Amino acid sequence: MLIKTVIRHGEYYDSVKLMIATKQLSEFEGVTEAAILMGSDLNKEVLKRTGLLTPESEAAVPEDLVIAISAETQEAIEKALAEVDGLLNQHGGGDDGEEYKPKSFDSALKAVPGLNFCIISVPGKYARREAMKALQNDMHVLLFSDNVTKEEELELKTYARDNGLLLMGPDCGTAMINNVPLGFANKVRKGSIGMVGAAGTGMQEVMVLIHKLGGGISQAIGTGGRDLSLEIGGITMLQGIEALNNDPETKVIVVISKPPAEEISDKMLAYIKENVEKPVVINFIGGDKSKVEAIGKAAASTLEEAAAKAVKLAEVSCCSKYSMENNDELEAIAKEQAKLLKPGQKYLRGLYSGGTLCYESMLVLRDYVGDVYSNTPLNKKMKLADANIMQENCCVDYGDDQFTVGRAHPMIDTTLREEEFMNEVEKEDVAVILLDIVIGYGTHADPAGVFAKRIKQAKEKMEKKGMHIPIICYICGTEEDPQNWALQKAKLEDAGAIVVSSNAKASKLAGMIMKAL
């Protein structure tokens, strides 16, 4: 085996570009392993694991671009190397060729006067610096980066609030301002429902369902998952509620979050009671509903319920054609599926790319099978010893930090979840598989196509063994998304998956099958 290492000092590409190029390079004829990455210590670990570490790459510094290829022949290495620049500089679809990229805020503002919004997704340790510069230049910020400290978050948010700006994040995956989807986001109708949320895919799910139920979104403000902690005190959440309350286009406000620190939720509810006359729907996913009801606002248990209540309160006049299964219909599917299973099939496995979708599923499943094992469990006792090894009833969030070190988010790179799906489906004690497919901007170009292929392979293997396994999918997205929800749904259904109308219903159906065993 030959290993070739090329170091290019001072050349920089973003992590998603590098991962996509790495994947494509690995698929070249004759190439055994390949990696294109920046020379950080973490990335050197990746090289070590894949057997690509050489004295040259070991000596690389974080500002070095490292290209490492192993192959059987020198010819294969040379051929692959010749393609690297093409892979790194390919465009995502646009044909605008070389365009001007400013190197500083000053030159950006000269090139495009009036820049008023900044999306930041650089590695966490550089994020505060860029975010502060954006705020100082009077831009609202969506801070996608994670690994930003709480102290940095507090400093940025305090500055933003004092200057009438929003700092959405850190670790904020989605937002919609003036009907423009930002980050991972779906294309939904413009309308009268405003949203502020600390739960990325939770917000996407509610926006998508509001759209499908005939409603629309005025603004959707993300806060980042830590905003409602004691230390941050809900700064962005309170700014968001105030802004939506003052916005004449917003008739109904939806608030989505995992249960906040009690002191903060009390503060937030007190603010709403005191200041907000507009209808408000609050979903503290799995949290206490009584405190919400006590201030005269609507509480929701699931994301689906939050969407339905918001649409009702917004008095949307258009009628929706989106059909959602009722309990009887789900029970009928569950009974039919349970009959096809063998006695040894007794566990369910959920493989998620959306953190909030995984969380909501575990809450719904609790009523059917009790607490399930997870890398992000509801109950600490159910934490998987090793997130790579599923056990009993189990839901894994593959978007959690432990899976995204040196790898793109599973909504972008489906490889890991595909592998785990194929592993789990082969296990004879597995009875049901749950999968979420999140589409929209920022995500994989055809996730349903990828999984449809895997589902077909799995079904063929099962048939040979004389077995059946229900694969329940939920697609979070709309027909206006680039991947088109209807086309994605058809691909999965053609492959034999059961596609359900909301994440909560998908989990409910899985629970019903488990109960019927």
Partner 1 sequence: MKRVNDIFGKELKVLNIGLEQFCEDLKDQNVTAVQMDWRPPAGGDSEAADLLAALLG
Residue 119 or 462 having the CB closest to partner 1: 119
Residue 442 touches partner 1, criterion: CB under 8 A:
yes
SS3 for 154-214, per residue?
A: HHHHHHHHHCCCCEECCCCCEEEECCEEEECECCCCEEEEEEEECCHHHHHHHHHHHHHCC
Residue 61 touches partner 1, criterion: CB under 8 A:
yes
Residue 116 touches partner 1, criterion: CB under 8 A:
yes
Which among 288, 286, 476 has a CA at the least distance from the CA of 367? 286
How many Cα atoms sit within 13 Å of 388 on the Cβ side?
4
Minimum distance from CB of 196 to partner 1 (Å)? 11
SS3 for 230-253, per residue?
A: CCCCCHHHHHHHHHHHHCCCCCEE
User: Of 101-109, 305-313, 355-363, 380-388, which segment contacts partner 1 by CB under 8 A?
Assistant: 101-109
Per DSSP, 7 falls in state E
Taking the CA atoms of 184, 186, 187 and 192 in sequence, report the sign of the dihedral they define: negative
Q: How far apart are CA 362 and CA 378, in angstroms?
A: 7
Q: How far apart are CA 444 and CA 80, in angstroms?
A: 24
Q: How far apart are CA 361 and CA 371, in angstroms?
A: 11
Neighbours of 109 (CB within 10 A): 15
Among 56, 155, 249, 446, binds partner 1 (CB under 8 A): 249
Among 121, 204, 337, 393, binds partner 1 (CB under 8 A): 121
Residue 15 touches partner 1, criterion: CB under 8 A:
yes
Residue 318 touches partner 1, criterion: CB under 8 A:
no
Residue 107 or 327 having the CB closest to partner 1: 107
Among 101, 321, 380, 381, binds partner 1 (CB under 8 A): 101
Q: How far apart are CA 209 and CA 193, in angstroms?
A: 12
Q: Decide if 456 contacts 480 (C-beta within 8 A).
A: no
Q: Decide if 431 contacts 457 (C-beta within 8 A).
A: no
User: Of 87-95, 321-329, 343-351, 483-491, which segment contacts partner 1 by CB under 8 A?
Assistant: 87-95
Q: Is the peptide bond before 377 cis (omega within 30 degrees of 0)?
A: no
Among 47, 88, 108, 430, binds partner 1 (CB under 8 A): 108
User: Of 13-21, 46-54, 390-398, 457-465, which segment contacts partner 1 by CB under 8 A?
Assistant: 13-21
| Residue carrying structure tokens 């995502």 | 92
Among 29, 103, 274, 328, binds partner 1 (CB under 8 A): 103
Residue 247 touches partner 1, criterion: CB under 8 A:
yes
Going across the sheet that includes 180-183, the strands are: 180-183, 174-177, 217-222, 190-197, 252-257, 280-284, 298-299
Residue 241 touches partner 1, criterion: CB under 8 A:
no
* 241-to-178, 195, 226 alpha-carbon distances in Å: 16, 8, 17
| Number of chain positions touching partner 1 (CB under 8 A) | 66
Minimum distance from CB of 392 to partner 1 (Å)? 37
Structure tokens at 244: 């939506």
What is the β-pairing status of strands 394-397 and 373-374? parallel
Structure tokens at 161: 């609030």
User: Of 50-58, 73-81, 95-103, 341-349, which segment contacts partner 1 by CB under 8 A?
Assistant: 95-103
Minimum distance from CB of 295 to partner 1 (Å)? 23
Residue 163 touches partner 1, criterion: CB under 8 A:
yes
CA dihedral of residues 285, 287, 289, 294 (deg, nearest 10): -120
Residue 178 backbone class (left: φ over 0; alpha: ψ -120 to 50; beta: rest): left
User: Of 130-138, 337-345, 391-399, 460-468, which segment contacts partner 1 by CB under 8 A?
Assistant: 130-138
Residue 126 touches partner 1, criterion: CB under 8 A:
yes
Residue 129 touches partner 1, criterion: CB under 8 A:
yes
Among 242, 325, 329, 331, binds partner 1 (CB under 8 A): 242
Q: How far apart are CA 446 and CA 439, in angstroms?
A: 8
| Amino acid occupying residue 90 | Q
User: Of 121-129, 204-212, 302-310, 506-514, which segment contacts partner 1 by CB under 8 A?
Assistant: 121-129
Minimum distance from CB of 462 to partner 1 (Å)? 36
Per DSSP, 382 falls in state G
Among 25, 37, 60, 144, binds partner 1 (CB under 8 A): 144
Among 95, 96, 98, 277, binds partner 1 (CB under 8 A): 96
Q: Draw the binding track, 169-208, toward partner 1 (x: CB under 8 A; -: no contact).
A: --------xx-xxxx-------------------------
User: Of 52-60, 106-114, 278-286, 350-358, which segment contacts partner 1 by CB under 8 A?
Assistant: 106-114
User: Of 8-16, 339-347, 426-434, 452-460, which segment contacts partner 1 by CB under 8 A?
Assistant: 8-16
Minimum distance from CB of 76 to partner 1 (Å)? 29
Residue 185 or 210 having the CB closest to partner 1: 185
Among positions 449-508, residues that touch partner 1 (CB under 8 A) are: 482
Binding residues for partner 1 (CB under 8 A):
10, 12, 14-17, 61-63, 91-94, 96, 99-105, 108, 111-112, 114-123, 125-126, 128-130, 134, 138-140, 144-145, 163-166, 177-178, 180-183, 219, 239-240, 242-243, 246-247, 249, 441-442, 482
